C-alpha cells in the first residue's frame, strides 16, 4: 500500500461493494451478479492486505 | 478438449504447479491447455512447454477502476463481465483452480466449465472442491497441522493424475540461451564450478542479511577457490546486488552480477553446478534443470509446503521455534533470529560439501550444528509423496510415524481404503523400501519396537476419538435437538484438545465450536465430519503399521 489515501479509497470501495452485494442478494437472490460483486470485493481485500502482491523479484520479458 | 488452469498468485506459485501442468498434458495429450495468470507473468509462455496459451488476468485494470471514487462501480463490473464472457466463450471442458482463494473460487464458478477441480464458490459463499485433496488444502492447511504436504503434490494428486510422473519441465528458449551465452562471454568465464547465488527474495524475513552472505561466500571461496560465483537477480535487484558484489570484492572474493530475465536465468541454471537460494521462484525454476539446489529456509519459508522439490536437494532450516512464521506478519522477535543464528560457516561448509555430493560429510555437519539448524535431504518416495528427511533423524520412531501418518492421509484422500482390495501391502512395502537404506539388519529389533510403540499410541488416539464421537451421538439421540443443549461440555473439550495435541492437528477440531456457548447444528455436524476424518486416518494408519510389521517379520 503506497499511501493512506489509496488505502482509504480501497476500503471505501470495498464497503460500497459489500453493500451492493447485500442489496442484490436481498432483491434478486444468489445470482451470478452477486458472485461478480463478491469477486471484486475479494480483489480489493487482497490489495488492502497486500496479500496477493504481484511483486516478484523476477521480471519476465 | 479444452482445459483452463487458474494460477493467480505469485510467480513461484505458478512454477510450483509445473508437474501438474505436465501431468495434465500427459493425461490429455491433444487437449488445448490454457493458463490464467496475473498480467505481468504473461511471458512465462516461452518456458512452459505444456501450456498452449497464457491468458492474462488484468488485476490492475479491475483494481484501478474500483479504487477511484470518481469511477462508477459498474465500470469495473462491466470490465469483469468482459473478462468472464471471454473465458466462457472458450467453453472449457475442465477448469482446474490452483489458486485456492475466494477470488479464484468465484471466478471458477462464473466460468462454468463442465467439470471443475479445486475451489469453486457459489454466490452465498458455499465451497465445492471436486477433490479431497483440495478440500484438505482448504480445511487443514491453513491450520498449523503437522501432516503438511508439498503444494506440488497436492496440485498434482488433486488433479487426479497418476503417481510417478510428477516432474518439473521447463523450456529453454532461444532468447534465454542467447542471454546466458552473452553473459558468459562478458564475464570471461573459462572453467571451474559455476555457483549461482540467489541472495534476495521478495520477503525480507526470508532473506539473509548482506553481511551474512558476505561472510558465508568468503568462507565458501576459501574452500572452493576455483568456483565462480554468479549473483543472480532481476533488473530491479541490480543496485542491491552491486552492493553485495562490492563488499565481496573488498574481501577478495570475485563474483559476477547475472542480471537476467527468467528465460536467461533458466539457461544459466541449466549449465551451472550449484544454486544457493532462499525461498524464491528461482528455486522452483531450478527444479526443472540439472543443477544441484541448496535452499536456505528462514522466516516464513515452510519447507514442508514449498521446499525445493527436486530429489537430492539440500535444505538448511533454522531451529528457532518461531520458524516458519506467519507469511504476511512482521518478525515479532527482537532481531531476525532465525537468520542470524545460522552460522555463516555452516552455510559455507554445507555448500562446499553439497557441491561434491558428500552426504556423509553433510550428515556430520548436521549433527555438529544440530543445536542451531537442521539439514534435510529431499527425496521423492515411490508411494507418491515428496519428503524432506533430516540428516540426523533418519529411521527414527518419529520419522517412521510421520511418514506413516502422511501415507495414511494419502490413502484417505484418494479413498484407497474404500476399495475392496486396498493396497495396504504394496504401499507399506514402498514405505519400507523408502527407509531400507537406514534400516540395517542390526536395527530390525529397534524398528519393530518403534512400530509397536507407534501402534499403541495410534490405538490410544483411535479409542479416544471413538469415545468423543460416541458421546456426541449419544447426546443427539437423547436430546433430539440442538436448542440450548451443551453438546460439547468441558470434559469433551479436554478430550478434543488432547486429540489435537497428540496428533498435531492444530485447532482443526476446536475451531469448529465455541466452548463458551452451546453449539448449533451446523457446528456439531462440522465437528463430527472432522472427527470422522481423523478417526478414519488413525484406522488406516493402524492397518499400514500392521502391514509394515508383518513385512519386516517376514524378512527377518
Could you tell me the pLDDT band of residue A54, with boundaries at 50, 70 and 90? very low
The predicted pLDDT at position B484 comes to 59
Is residue B20 within 8 Å of residue B156, measured between CB atoms? yes
Query: What is the per-residue pLDDT for B517?
Result: 62
pLDDT of residue B140: 82
Residues 6 or more apart whose CB falls under 8 angstroms from that of B293 comprise: B274, B275, B277, B283, B286, B287, B308, B310, B313, B314
- Other beta carbons less than 10 A from residue B69's beta carbon: 10
CA torsion angle B486 B489 B490 B492 (round to 10): -150
Confidence (pLDDT) at B519: 61
State the pLDDT at residue B67: 66
A42 three-state secondary structure: helix
pLDDT at residue B526, as a whole number: 84
A-chain residues near B106 (CB < 8 A): 35-36, 38-39, 42
Q: Test A10 with B261 for CB contact under 8 angstroms.
A: no
The pLDDT tens digits for B121-162 are: 987 788 899 999 999 988 887 666 777 899 999 999 999 998
A22 and chain B in contact, CB less than 8 A: no
What are the phi and psi torsion angles at B276 (to 5°)?
A: -110, 120
Strands B386-390 and B373-380, how do they pair?
antiparallel
- A37, A59, B261 from B65: Cα distances, Å: 13, 25, 31
Sheet holding B32-38, edge to edge: B53-57, B32-38, B2-6, B94-97, B115-117
Q: Nearest by CB to B66, which of A25, A40, A52? A: A40
What is the per-residue DSSP string for B338-381? HHHTS-HHHHHHHHHHHHTT-HHHHHHHHHHTTTTEEEEEEEE-
Distance separating alpha carbons of residues B534 and B542, to the nearest angstrom: 12
Half-sphere exposure of B412 (CA within 13 A, CB side): 23
User: How confident is the model at residue A2, as a pLDDT?
Assistant: 53
Q: Which residues in chain B come in under a pLDDT of 50?
A: none
pLDDT at A58: 36
Report yes or no: A26 at the B interface, CB cutoff 8 Å: no
| H or E segment to which residue B495 belongs | helix B490-503
Q: Please give the Cα distance from B205 to B209 (Å, whole number).
A: 10
Smallest CA–CA distance, residue B279 to chain A, in Å, is: 12
pLDDT at residue A18 in the model: 82
CA distance A38 to chain B (A): 8
Chain-chain contact of B80 with A36 (C-beta, under 8 angstroms): yes
Residues of chain B with Cβ-Cβ distance to A52 below 8 Å are 8-10, 59, 101, 103
Residue A55 has pLDDT above 60, yes or no: no
Q: Does B110 touch chain A (CB under 8 A)?
A: yes
Segment B182-233, tens digit of pLDDT: 999 999 887 899 999 999 998 888 899 999 999 999 999 999 999 999 999 9
The span from the CA of B493 to the CA of B471, in Å, is 12
Put simply, whether B238 touches A (Cβ < 8 Å) is no
A61 has a pLDDT exceeding 60? no
Which residue among B42, B80, B281 places its CB closest to the CB of A56? B281
The number of C-beta contacts closer than 8 angstroms across A and B is: 130
Identify all chain B residues contacting A35, using CB atoms and an 8 Å cutoff.
106, 109-110, 121-123
Amino acid at each position: 500500500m503506497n499511501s493512506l489515501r489509496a488505502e482509504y479509497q480501497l476500503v471505501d470501495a470495498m464497503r460500497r461493494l459489500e453493500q451492493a452485494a447485500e442489496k442484490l442478494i436481498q432483491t434478486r437472490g444468489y445470482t451470478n451478479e452477486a458472485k461478480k460483486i463478491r469477486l471484486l470485493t475479494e480483489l480489493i481485500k487482497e490489495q488492502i492486505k497486500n496479500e496477493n502482491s504481484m511483486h516478484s523479484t523476477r521480471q519476465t520479458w | 478438449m479444452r482445459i483452463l488452469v487458474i494460477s493467480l498468485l505469485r510467480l513461484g506459485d505458478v512454477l510450483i504447479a509445473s508437474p501438474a501442468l505436465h501431468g495434465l498434458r500427459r493425461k490429455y495429450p491433444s487437449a488445448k491447455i490454457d493458463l490464467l495468470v496475473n498480467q505481468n507473468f504473461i511471458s512465462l509462455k516461452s518456458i512452459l512447454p505444456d501450456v498452449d496459451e497464457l491468458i492474462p488476468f488484468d488485476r490492475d485494470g479491475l483494481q484501478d477502476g474500483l479504487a477511484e471514487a470518481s469511477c462508477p462501480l459498474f465500470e469495473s463490473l462491466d470490465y469483469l463481465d468482459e473478462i468472464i464472457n471471454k473465458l466462457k466463450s472458450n467453453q472449457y471442458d475442465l477448469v482446474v483452480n490452483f489458486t485456492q482463494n475466494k477470488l479464484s473460487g468465484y471466478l471458477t464458478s462464473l466460468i462454468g466449465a463442465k467439470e471443475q477441480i479445486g475451489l469453486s464458490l457459489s454466490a452465498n459463499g458455499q465451497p465445492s472442491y471436486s477433490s479431497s485433496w483440495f478440500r484438505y488444502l482448504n480445511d487443514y492447511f491453513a491450520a498449523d497441522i503437522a501432516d503438511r504436504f508439498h503444494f506440488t503434490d497436492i496440485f498434482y494428486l488433486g488433479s487426479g493424475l497418476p503417481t510417478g510422473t510428477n516432474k518439473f519441465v521447463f523450456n529453454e528458449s532461444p532468447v534465454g540461451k542467447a542471454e546466458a551465452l552473452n553473459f558468459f562471454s562478458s564475464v570471461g568465464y573459462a572453467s571451474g564450478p559455476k555457483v549461482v547465488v540467489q541472495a534476495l527474495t521478495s520477503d525480507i524475513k526470508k532473506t539473509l542479511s548482506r553481511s551474512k552472505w558476505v561472510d558465508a561466500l568468503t568462507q565458501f571461496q576459501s574452500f572452493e577457490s576455483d568456483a565462480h560465483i554468479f549473483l543472480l537477480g532481476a533488473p530491479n535487484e541490480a543496485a542491491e546486488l552491486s552492493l553485495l558484489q562490492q563488499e565481496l570484492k573488498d574481501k577478495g572474493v570475485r563474483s559476477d552480477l547475472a542480471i537476467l530475465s527468467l528465460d536467461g536465468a533458466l539457461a544459466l541454471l541449466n549449465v551451472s553446478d550449484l544454486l544457493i537460494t532462499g525461498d524464491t521462484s528461482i528455486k522452483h525454476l531450478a527444479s526443472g534443470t540439472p543443477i544441484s539446489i541448496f535452499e536456505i529456509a528462514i522466516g516464513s519459508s515452510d519447507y514442508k509446503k514449498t521446499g525445493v522439490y527436486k530429489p537430492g536437494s539440500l535444505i538448511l532450516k533454522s531451529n528457532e521455534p518461531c520458524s516458519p512464521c506467519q507469511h504476511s506478519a512482521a518478525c515479532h522477535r527482537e532481531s531476525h533470529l532465525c537468520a542470524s543464528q545460522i552460522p555463516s560457516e555452516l552455510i559455507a561448509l554445507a555448500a562446499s560439501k553439497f557441491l561434491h555430493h558428500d552426504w556423509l560429510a553433510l550428515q556430520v555437519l548436521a549433527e555438529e550444528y544440530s543445536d542451531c539448524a537442521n539439514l534435510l535431504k529431499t527425496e521423492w518416495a515411490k508411494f507418491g509423496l515428496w519428503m524432506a528427511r533430516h540428516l540426523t533423524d533418519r529411521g527414527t520412531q518419529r520419522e517412521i510415524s510421520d511418514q506413516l501418518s502422511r501415507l495414511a492421509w494419502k490413502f484417505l484422500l484418494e479413498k484407497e481404503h474404500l476399495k475392496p482390495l486396498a493396497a495396504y501391502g504394496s504401499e507399506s512395502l514402498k514405505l519400507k523400501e523408502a527407509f531400507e537404506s537406514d534400516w540395517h539388519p542390526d536395527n530390525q529389533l529397534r524398528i519393530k519396537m518403534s512400530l509397536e510403540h507407534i501402534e499403541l499410541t495410534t490405538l490410544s488416539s483411535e479409542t479416544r476419538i471413538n469415545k468423543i464421537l460416541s458421546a456426541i451421538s449419544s447426546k443427539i439421540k437423547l436430546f433430539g435437538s440442538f436448542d440450548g443443549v451443551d453438546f460439547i461440555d468441558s470434559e469433551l473439550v479436554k478430550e478434543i484438545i488432547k486429540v489435537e495435541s497428540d496428533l498435531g492437528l492444530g485447532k482443526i477440531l476446536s475451531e469448529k465450536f465455541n466452548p463458551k456457548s452451546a453449539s448449533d447444528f451446523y457446528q456439531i455436524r462440522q465437528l463430527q465430519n472432522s472427527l470422522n476424518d481423523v478417526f478414519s486416518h488413525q484406522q488406516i494408519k493402524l492397518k499400514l503399521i500392521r502391514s509394515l510389521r508383518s513385512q519386516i517379520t517376514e524378512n527377518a
